[in-house]
Amino acid sequence: MDREQIMGLIFFFIMFIGVYIPFILLFIWTLKNPKDSINWGRKTFYKNEEDLEPSEITLDMNKFGSILGIILSTVIFINFFINIFK
């Protein structure tokens, strides 16, 4: 293992802990609670207003986006890990 690969592994683990895990946790939270994730910004910035009642299409699109985000993030990080050893 040469110096570049060691530095690549260190960078990979820093990115894994600092970027990948928070993204995955965010996508899982969005997947489990789509209404809360849609109304999160509204609750934060407009405290006295009612929550929105999203339609089924909006909830389905939100869940699809979460699943797609999990898949793409995983593929990107696996590809990054494989490219370290090339």
* pLDDT, tens digit, 9 for 90 and up, residues 28-62: 999 998 888 887 777 777 777 777 788 899 889 99
Is-above-0.75 flag for pTM?
A: yes
Helices (H), the chain: 3-15, 21-32, 34-45, 56-84
In this structure, the number of other CB atoms found within 10 A of the CB of residue 47 comes to: 7
pLDDT score of 61? 92
pLDDT score of 17? 92
Task: Say yes or no to pLDDT of 70 above 90.
Answer: yes
Burial classification of residue 30, based on how many CB atoms lie within 10 Å of its CB (0-12 exposed, 13-18 middle, 19 or more buried):
buried
pLDDT score of 75? 96
Q: Where are the domains of the chain?
A: 3-39+53-84
Among 15-19, 53-57, 69-73, 81-85, which range has the highest average pLDDT?
A: 69-73
